[in-house]
Amino acid sequence: MMPAQRLEKRVPEMKDRGRIRVGAIADLTIFDAQRIVDPSTYADAAVASTGVQHVLVNGVAVVRDGKVVDGVMPGRAVRVPITP
């Protein structure tokens, strides 16, 4: 089962996440499976993975043609409703 679907009962906002369809809030990563490598280490955790071509967050490109797009921050936190 998809992670967003498993969380729907506890976090209603997840109902429109994790799906690829009109009106949904999906984050997508498009990568080359033959070239994907994570060169980061504990000492240098900020090193970007290679082989990632595009990343879309809420439908907005944050990585385009392998390069980070400056000045865009379309993501937002998903919060669990607090019930007394």
Sign of the CA dihedral 51, 33, 26, 4?
Answer: negative
Across the chain, mean pLDDT equals 88
Report d(CA 64, CA 57) in Å as an integer.
12
| pLDDT over threshold 90, residue 83 | no
Helix, strand or coil for residue 30?
strand
| pLDDT tens-digit series, residues 43-77 | 999 998 999 999 999 889 999 999 999 999 998 88
* pLDDT value at residue 1: 52
* Rounded mean pLDDT, 18-33: 87
SS3 per-residue string spanning 46-69: CCCCECEEEEEECCEEEEECCEEC
Report d(CA 79, CA 36) in Å as an integer.
31
* pLDDT value at residue 65: 96
**Prediction pTM value:** 0.76
Give 36 or 15, the one with higher predicted confidence: 36
At residue 79's C-alpha, the angle toward residues 75 and 83, to 5°, is 165
